[in-house]
């Protein structure tokens, strides 16, 4: 079967060799929203009009990372003289095609020698922006599915798990649970039927890593899931994608169809005895369905509410069977780990956090977009070097990581390396990888209120603390925003935070107070400033706090 993969690779290279120039247009959601599909069509027309069709090709590719400068176009991405163009419009197509054999169009040039491109290390995103996500051949030509074939032909299921354990990979969905350990537990669970689920119900505000991976390189997820299926003994997988990602769903469907046809999914994969089928299940817009037990209930066709664990899905999951649930980005790292070995992966990163992490930079930052950096990269480097600093030239006040389950990290802590332990020590979490950068104009009380409103409306309503506690916390934060809060409100808010965190049923409730608690920890003054004006002297507030006690 390796021969078959090699044949496809060779054919692809020959095809690529026939063209002198390749023009890649980003057709992931960010650039698509600024007309990149129309630009691609215009480029194709121009190429034909110039009679260059035989030596120039125009491809739609996945995300190139720098979403702020979209629509992005690269010319001859894999040749030495790579050129990137930013903020291209339909009208620029003629100039770009005309410039192919001469000097590049300077007014559109996007420099690629800047830290944004140079400081990244891409593993999960290694093919993003370099291949057409709708063609399996291009994925195969970049070593695609060779990890799966290696696992199936040269390794036993326990060898595969050993590699994942050795890699030190941890769950990229937020919890950071060791992936190898999770695979071991599912592999050891009793049962002749097991399931693999890919959690693509990405719902944190400001996070778009999973969407981008699915849109840019869907085969990578399928390969990772098939390897997982082989390792734990499952023959059925489900990708649970949120319905708000139509492009990702369409590309995933195409990828599944192509993989089946190429015998990389389905029965007797690659001529071996291993069967693995993948189906898509669509979420209907509930944030809580990203919680694994709620996600399982949703796939089963029930109301998407979590249940207490244990039993964990590893023992009692989908339809009561042992189930492995991993996040999109976790699966995206599997194929390279099998291809290059767990030790190779474990050499990247720092301490107990190995490998790289994809982050979605959003907010008041110049280079809004998607980055992948080694674990342990300091926040300062991410914001000021890779991110290019604060838009509008202001000072950065804080970064919100981990979405509604995370917290705000103030500028004073920017030398902290980004890894699971350091972020939780600061009262935030790694989360799925959303990073919202805020400048000095941001009100921390409003940030806390926004996330609490999100948790309040996304609570499933099953347990009392989350259902009612979030409403009260939101109402109190609302009072702060209206400058009507009293010291009693602050006391009550802190009490509710503690209670909701410790008594809620699932992760949504247990982490809902995090944005409030972290802003109270670092920006307590702002809460004080939001007290009722007549109370607004620090001394007076202190007095009243004494009385309240």
Partner 1 sequence: MKRPFKTRIKTLKIDGIDVGAREDETILELAQENDIFIPTLCHLEGVHDVGSCRLCLVEVRGTNKLLPACMTYAEEGMEVITNSERLQAYRRQVLDLLFSERNHVCSVCVSNGHCELQWLAGKLGISHVGVPYLYPQLEVDASHRYYSYDPNRCILCTRCVRVCDEIEGAHTWDVMGRGVECLVISDLNQPWGTAESCTRCGKCVQVCPTGALFNKGRAVAEMTKRRDFLPYLQTMREGRK
Which residues form the interface with partner 1 (CB under 8 A)? Answer: 286, 303, 307-308, 456-472, 475, 492, 495-496, 499, 502-505
Give the pairing of strands 21-26 and 277-283: unpaired
Instruction: Write out the two tokens for 145.
Output: 């599915």
CB of 457 to partner 1, least distance (A): 6
Q: Are 214 and 254 in contact (CB under 8 A)?
A: no
* Closest to partner 1 by CB, 305 or 364: 305
CB of 466 to partner 1, least distance (A): 8
* Closest to partner 1 by CB, 178 or 469: 469
* Closest to partner 1 by CB, 78 or 498: 498
Facing residues of 73 across strands? 25, 85
* Closest to partner 1 by CB, 45 or 467: 467
* C-alpha–C-alpha distance, residues 456 and 476, integer Å: 13
CB of 182 to partner 1, least distance (A): 19
Q: For the chain, give the number of residues.
A: 549
* C-alpha–C-alpha distance, residues 496 and 469, integer Å: 7
Q: Are 306 and 293 in contact (CB under 8 A)?
A: yes
* C-alpha–C-alpha distance, residues 32 and 133, integer Å: 14
Q: Which residue has the tokens 């001394």?
A: 539
CB of 110 to partner 1, least distance (A): 43
Q: Are 167 and 337 in contact (CB under 8 A)?
A: yes
CB of 431 to partner 1, least distance (A): 20
* CA 487 from centroid of its chain's CA atoms: 39
* Closest to partner 1 by CB, 263 or 503: 503
CB of 533 to partner 1, least distance (A): 21
Strands (E), 53-163: 56-61, 73-75, 83-85
CB of 296 to partner 1, least distance (A): 15
* C-alpha–C-alpha distance, residues 302 and 94, integer Å: 53
CB of 307 to partner 1, least distance (A): 7
Give the pairing of strands 21-26 and 56-61: parallel
- For 519-546, b where at least 16 C-beta lie within 10 A, e where not — what string? bbebbeebbbebbbeeeeeeeebeebee
Q: In this structure, what DSSP letter does residue 67 have?
A: G
CB of 186 to partner 1, least distance (A): 21
CB of 305 to partner 1, least distance (A): 8
Q: List CB contacts of 423: < 8 A, sequence separation 6 or more.
A: 401, 402, 406, 409, 416, 429, 430
Instruction: Write out the two tokens for 391.
Output: 């838009």
* Closest to partner 1 by CB, 150 or 307: 307
* Closest to partner 1 by CB, 49 or 464: 464
* Closest to partner 1 by CB, 260 or 472: 472
Please return the burial class of 494, using the count of CB atoms within 10 Å of its CB with bins 0-12, 13-18 and 19+.
middle
CB of 465 to partner 1, least distance (A): 6
* Closest to partner 1 by CB, 86 or 307: 307
CB of 210 to partner 1, least distance (A): 23
Q: Is the dihedral of CA 162, 163, 168, 169 positive or negative?
A: negative
Q: List CB contacts of 55: < 8 A, sequence separation 6 or more.
A: 18, 19, 20, 21
* Closest to partner 1 by CB, 250 or 468: 468
Q: Which residue has the tokens 């690659």?
A: 270
| Cα radius of gyration rounded to whole Å, the chain | 25
* Closest to partner 1 by CB, 50 or 303: 303
């Amino acid at each position: 079967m390796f021969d078959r993969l090699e044949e496809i690779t060779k054919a692809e290279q020959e095809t690529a060799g026939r063209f002198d120039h390749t023009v890649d247009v980003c057709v992931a959601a960010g650039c698509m929203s600024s007309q990149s599909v129309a630009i691609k069509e215009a480029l194709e027309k121009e190429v034909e009009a110039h009679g260059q069709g035989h030596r120039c090709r125009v491809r739609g590719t996945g995300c190139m990372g720098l979403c702020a400068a979209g629509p992005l176009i690269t010319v001859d991405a894999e040749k030495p003289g790579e050129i990137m163009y930013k903020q291209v419009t339909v009208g620029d197509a003629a100039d770009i095609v005309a410039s192919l054999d001469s000097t590049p169009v300077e007014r559109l040039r996007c420099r690629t020698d800047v830290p944004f491109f140079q400081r990244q290390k891409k593993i999960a995103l290694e093919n993003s922006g370099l291949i057409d996500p709708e063609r399996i051949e291009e994925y195969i030509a970049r070593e695609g599915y060779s990890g799966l074939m290696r696992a199936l032909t040269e390794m036993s299921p326990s060898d595969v798990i050993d590699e994942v354990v050795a890699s030190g990979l941890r769950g990229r969905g937020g919890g950071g649970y060791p992936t190898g350990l999770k695979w071991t537990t599912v592999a050891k669970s009793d049962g002749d039927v097991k399931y693999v689920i890919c959690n693509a119900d990405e719902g944190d505000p400001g996070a778009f890593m999973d969407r981008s991976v699915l849109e840019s390189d869907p085969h990578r997820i399928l390969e990772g899931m098939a390897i997982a299926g082989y390792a734990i003994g499952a023959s059925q997988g489900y990708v649970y994608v949120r319905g708000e990602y139509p492009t990702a769903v369409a590309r995933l469907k195409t990828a599944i169809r192509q993989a089946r046809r190429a015998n990389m999914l389905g029965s007797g994969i690659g001529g071996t005895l291993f069967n693995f089928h993948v189906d898509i299940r669509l979420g209907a817009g509930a944030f809580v369905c990203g919680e694994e037990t709620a996600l399982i209930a949703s796939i089963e066709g029930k109301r998407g509410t979590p249940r207490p664990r244990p039993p964990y899905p590893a023992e009692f999951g989908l339809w009561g069977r042992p189930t492995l649930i991993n996040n999109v980005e976790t699966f995206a790292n599997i194929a390279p780990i099998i291809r290059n070995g767990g030790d190779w992966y474990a050499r990247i990163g720092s301490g107990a956090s190995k490998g790289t992490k994809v982050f979605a930079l959003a907010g008041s930052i110049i280079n809004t977009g998607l980055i992948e950096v080694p674990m342990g990269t300091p926040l300062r480097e991410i914001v000021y070097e890779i991110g290019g600093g604060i838009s509008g030239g202001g000072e950065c006040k804080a970064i919100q990581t981990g979405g509604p389950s995370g917290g705000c990290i103030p500028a004073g802590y920017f030398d902290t390396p980004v890894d699971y332990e350091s972020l939780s020590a600061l009262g935030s979490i790694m989360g799925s990888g959303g990073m919202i950068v805020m400048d000095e104009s941001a009100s921390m009380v409003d940030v806390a209120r926004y996330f609490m409103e999100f948790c309040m409306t996304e609570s499933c309503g099953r347990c009392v603390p989350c259902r009612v506690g979030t409403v009260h916390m939101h109402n109190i934060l609302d009072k702060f925003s209206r400058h009507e809060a009293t010291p009693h409100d602050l006391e009550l808010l802190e009490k509710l935070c503690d209670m909701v965190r410790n008594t809620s049923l699932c992760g949504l409730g247990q982490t809902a107070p995090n944005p409030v608690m972290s802003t109270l920890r670092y920006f307590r003054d702002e809460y004080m400033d939001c007290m009722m004006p007549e109370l607004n002297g620090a001394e007076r507030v202190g007095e009243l706090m004494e009385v309240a006690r």
